[in-house]
A and B are shown apart, each in its own frame.
Chain A
Amino acid sequence: MKHYSAFAIAREAFRQHTGWGRAWASPEPRKSYDVIIVGAGGHGLATAYYLGHRYGIKNVAIIEKGWLGGGNTGRNTTIIRSNYLQDPSAAIYEKSRSLYETMSQDLNYNVMFSPRGVMMLAQTEHEKRGYLRTERANALQGVETRFISPAEVKKLVPIINLDGPRYPVLGALWQARGGTARHDAVAWGYARACSAMGMHVIEQCAVTGVTSENGMVTGVNTTKGHIGCNKLGIVVAGHSGALADMAGFRLPVESVALQALVSEPIKPCMDVVVMANTVHGYMSQSDKGEMVIGGGADGFNNYTQRGSWHHIEETVRALVETFPMISRLKMLRQWGGIVDMTGDRSPIISKTPLGNCFINCGWGTGGFKATPGSGYAMAELVAKGEPGPLAEAFSMFRFREGRFIDESVAAGVAH
């Protein structure tokens, strides 16, 4: 692996950029590995990276049915924050946010982490009280957030309309250390680091079955033949239900489509992330100048990676009310991703009924921000066979035991 640096750019400039090479290798699969991770999205690659980096487990394959980072990793709105109400959520999302701060240096790959600040607007009295509670919970959890006044909101976001006809802005929960990152670069950076450790990133290889013996996993059947493994990690987001079915168990998960869109690029007009959860829309401006807009998920099971048209209308309608200046922008692109929703809207990082088979899923509509923290916790689970402090509350068996981490009630929306 070539080290990326200012010196490397200068050196390559002198030889017409012929020496960069590929960022990661595309090897043929071996007969077996110590660990197979299914799913080369951000979470799967982060899991593999921390397996090698923290536990020295490097005989690892990451198997991907499509192309690297082509699922939800490449389909989100890149928002990073950790202002959650429940302790287990705040712990893992805050770990994740802190890992983003040094990710570019750790991976020697520019993931363009931009801690520009995330603002969640309070537009009803209920929401305001909820965020005041979250602010205090965050203070106890060591997560830095602050409830700010409408005047401070206006100062941070001059284009906002505070006196909307339906939902005036009553304040906002402000996390100055939240922000955005380049989502593709996160997957590419992890893939490059994994490849450099000798791991195999195998793209265009779909898993068609899970093999086991005496209740212990022995490998996976794929479109490139059977590949054996001692341990299996399933990190496939929207398709978790299908993989669980192959492994012989059922998950408390339903898959729905969540969509996002971007406007045509315009000059810089908003340098923070604004989320309006009551009216269900969120917006930030990308480095290219596009307004990146997301909204609500569809309510019905769906694997089509496209959403319903009326959701775009609802989201845009809400945001035009909040930001009147966007009313004449044209939509440039729209896309959908399949998100896996659990009953309490919190993720699953867990052992499964199949021995040595572990699952990481249920991140629902908010998985990108959790990418490094999720991989960090999942790697510990896979390496030790038991969950560490970050993951233990997120067992898939919590539903049977009634130990919900109820962020759906805390946030009032899917998140």
Chain B
Amino acid sequence: MLLLTCPCCGVTAEETEFAPGGEAHLKRFGPGSSDADYESYMFNRKNPRGVHFERWRHAYGCGKWFLAARCTMTLEVFGTYPAQTVEPPAEIVAAIKAKRPEWEGFA
């Protein structure tokens, strides 16, 4: 069972209380962008084996969106952080580096 801590209300709960929302930090492309950029934004995903940044919603709690760093090979959660960021904060990156020295970093 996956345990997540909501950074908005501070509650730690099982995954049944949360709703997954897919890859985080997508760069959005809209009208006027190229077909390739728009396709990439809409459909293409990193889908990594290992460190993954993703969106979650505290659906049966405070209802707010937040972001999480999690390993897709082990389900280990490195940390959660507010959604109002364009890239993972330094402390999350440090926490991942400490446990996954071979990780290439957020790209």
Contacts and interface: CB of A to CB of B under 8 A. Distances in A.
B73 A303 contact: yes
A310 interface: yes
B10 interface: no
A94 interface: no
Given A301-B52, A308-B2, A400-B36, A253 B47 contact: yes
A299 B56 CA distance: 10
Contacts of B15: 308, 310
A299 B42 contact: no
Interface centre among B14, B42, B47, B75 (most CB of A within 10 A): B47
Contacts of A310: 1, 14-16
Contact of A302 (B36, B46, B72): B72
Given A301-B72, A308-B15, A309-B1, A242 B49 contact: yes
Contacts, number: 69
Contacts of A218: none
A366 interface: no
Contacts of A308: 1-2, 15
Contacts of A299: 19-20
A254 B48 CA distance: 9
Nearest to A256: B20
A388 interface: no
Contacts of B74: 304
Given A299-B20, A308-B2, A400-B35, A241 B45 contact: yes
A342 B47 CA distance: 11
Contacts of A252: 39, 43-45
Nearest to B39: A400
A303 B46 CA distance: 13
Contact of B73 (A254, A300, A304): A304
Interface string A341-361: 011000000000000000000
Given A254-B45, A308-B2, A310-B15, A303 B36 contact: no
B72 A303 contact: yes
A301 B50 CA distance: 10
A298 B54 CA distance: 14
A399 B1 contact: no
B40 interface: yes
Contact of B43 (A241, A301, A343): A343
B89 interface: no
Contact of B44 (A239, A251, A304): A251
A166 interface: no
Interface in B13-29: 14-16, 19-20, 22-23
A399 B42 contact: yes
Interface in A364-415: 399-400
Contacts of A343: 42-43
Interface string A272-307: 000000000000000000000000001111111000
B51 to A, nearest CB: 11
Contacts of B73: 303-304
27 contacts: A241-B48, A242-B48, A242-B49, A250-B44, A250-B45, A251-B45, A251-B47, A252-B39, A252-B43, A255-B72, A298-B20, A300-B2, A300-B20, A300-B54, A301-B23, A301-B47, A303-B49, A304-B75, A308-B1, A308-B2, A309-B1, A343-B43, A399-B39, A399-B42, A399-B43, A399-B44, A400-B36
Interface of A: 239, 241-242, 250-255, 298-304, 308-310, 342-343, 399-400
Top 8 nearest A-B pairs (CB, nearest first) are: A241-B47, A252-B43, A300-B20, A400-B39, A299-B20, A399-B43, A250-B44, A343-B43
Given A300-B70, A309-B1, A310-B14, 6 more contacts: A252-B45, A301-B48, A303-B72, A343-B43, A400-B36, A400-B38
